[in-house]
Amino acid sequence: MKVDLMRKIDFYIGVPLCLFFSILFKIKFIFRRKGNIQPKNILFIELSEMGSAILVDPAMKKLQRSLTGSELFFLIFKRNKPSLNLLNTIKEENIFTIREDSLPLLIFDTLRFLIWTRVRKIDTVFDLELFSRFTALLTILSGAINRVGFYGYHNEGLYRGDFLTHRVSYNPHIHIAKNFISLINALLSNNREIPYSKTLIADEEIRLDKVTIEERQKIEMINKIEKLCPLFSRDKNRIVLINPNASEMLIQRRWMPENFSLLIQYILNDYPDVVVLITGSAGEREEAEKLRLSVKNERCYNFAGESKFHELPALYAISHCMVTNDSGPGHFSAVLDLPSFVIFGPETPKLYGSLGNSKAIYAAMACSPCVSAANHRKTPCTDNVCLKVISSEYVYQIIKPCLDSKGILDLKQSPDIPFFNSQQSESRHLRQ
């Protein structure tokens, strides 16, 4: 289903259902009061964002350390499930997927989910979504006694019912990974708090575990690249990844193709040992090909659709750096040390920045960020000036120290470059 259709269903059907079940369960609560129970079978719900499946990992790891013997489960849209396999915190058999391709499939899988939660005796649910009424309904209908999620209190808008046993105040001024940790702290708290969670969350708590890539996997990926890219040699060339795409949920996050084209030309003109791979899914291959043709350089290759999702860590492990829009790859690469430069526009890196070895490129205009939990992440903007003012030359100057370095550069230690919009001097790096 299209994103806008899902939003309409979530609003026009979700709001009345949230109100109905809120009243129903308040009446039920009067006659059959149940207190919280010791969590044992714990479900996390995050349907729509692949990146959030990575960002919630530190919170899940903290819960595992705090409640030894507990079993973790996860509910996610089927197309986003591969993101959970990068860190393998959740067992494969403990992941339930819902197909969102059509409304009948969505309804059918939802009914299966209600049976699945009871068979597995789910007693605790974490609703990780900020605005979805659908996940709020799934939380209460799961049958769990402990229900933890974000609650609006006196904030207006985005009504999601009144189902939660642990109401956590969502904080838009701290990283979303810390907000996820606050959900865990709420469940673990020995005190009833209004609101949860009155805790200090240190930066160390949101560090991601790194994955180890076997040498065999690296060699297989190198072999694939050498086969597809005749000018690439494992002994002579470095790989720079360019991800020009972003999900259909928020297409305003896409930096202009012509800017990516200029950036690639700058890189290839100044660094003869670099090969550029344009990445993406198989469905994005046509757009990637247009970008490749615009570059007009034999060391630029269309790699969209050439690697499966589970092969991405191997690709990241053998690459020198990556430039990407604010999308999944910026988070997927965080499970390794790959230097990643993430271009932000309608969203803010303060809230959704990568937890890896990354640097955010952000103009921080007066209108940004224009998407939030308050507007269902739907912006009225049709002219994303926040990305248009970020010039190719500016991005090139940011990534240049990494290109000059032959090893892995720690981007957290690299100095910031003052923002400028230098469209007038775009062509000076291009050589005949």
What's the pLDDT score for residue 251?
77
Q: Which CATH class is domain 215-429?
A: alpha beta
DSSP string, 368-381: -----GGGTT----
pTM for this one? 0.89
Predicted confidence at residue 32, as pLDDT, reads: 56
Alpha carbon distance 89, 359 (integer Å)? 26
Q: What are the structure tokens assigned to 80, written together?
A: 């986003």
Radius of gyration of the chain (CA): 23
**Distant-in-sequence, close-in-space partners of 343: CB < 8 Å, separation ≥ 6:** 255, 323, 324, 325, 326, 361, 362, 387, 390, 395
| Residues with Cβ within 8 Å of residue 383, at least 6 apart in sequence | none
pLDDT of residue 372: 78
Out of 3.40.50.2000, 3.40.50.720, 3.30.70.2740, 3.10.129.10, which CATH number does the structure's domain 3-206 have?
3.40.50.2000
Q: Is the fold of 3-206 the same as that of 215-429?
A: yes
SS3 content of the chain, % helix, strand, coil (to 5): 45, 15, 40
Q: How far apart are CA 176 and CA 349, in angstroms?
A: 10
pLDDT tops 90 at residue 34: no
**Chain segment 40-93, per-residue pLDDT in tens:** 999 999 998 888 889 999 999 999 999 988 999 999 999 999 999 888 899 999
DSSP string, 115-178: HHHHHTT--EEEE--SS-HHHHHHHHHTT-SEEEEEE-TT--S----S--SEEEE--TTS-HHH
Closest CA to 196 of 209, 215, 210, 180: 180
pLDDT tens digit sequence for 372-409: 777 777 788 888 899 999 999 999 999 999 999 988 88
Instruction: Work out whether strand 321-325 and strand 238-243 pair parallel, antiparallel, or are unpaired.
Output: parallel
Residue-wise pLDDT for 294-347, tens only, equals 999 999 999 999 999 999 999 999 999 999 999 889 999 999 999 999 999 988
Cα–Cα distance for residue pair 412/334, rounded to 1 Å: 13
Question: What residues contact residue 219 under an 8 Å CB cut-off, 6+ apart?
Answer: none
Whole-angstrom distance, CA of residue 17 vs CA of residue 30: 20
Structure-token pair, residue 412: 């957290």
CA distance linking residue 341 with residue 323, whole number of Å: 5
Q: Cα(333)–Cα(313) distance, rounded to whole angstroms?
A: 7
Phi-psi region of 263 (alpha: psi -120 to 50; beta: other; left: phi over 0): alpha
The yes-or-no verdict on residue 421 having pLDDT over 70 is no
Ordered DSSP codes for 323-359 = EEESSHHHHHGGGS---EEEEESSS-HHHH--SSSEE
Q: What mean pLDDT, rounded, does the chain reach?
A: 89
Task: Return the bridge partners of 362, or none.
Answer: 344
- Please name the residue that has the structure tokens 């396999």: 85
Parse the chain into domains and list their residue ranges.
Answer: 3-206, 215-429
Give per-residue pLDDT as tens, 193-242.
899 989 999 999 999 999 999 999 999 999 999 999 999 998 899 999 99
- Type of residue found at 274: V
Give the chain's end-to-end CA distance (angstroms, integer): 47
Q: Identify the CA nearest to 393 among candidates 255, 261, 262.
A: 262
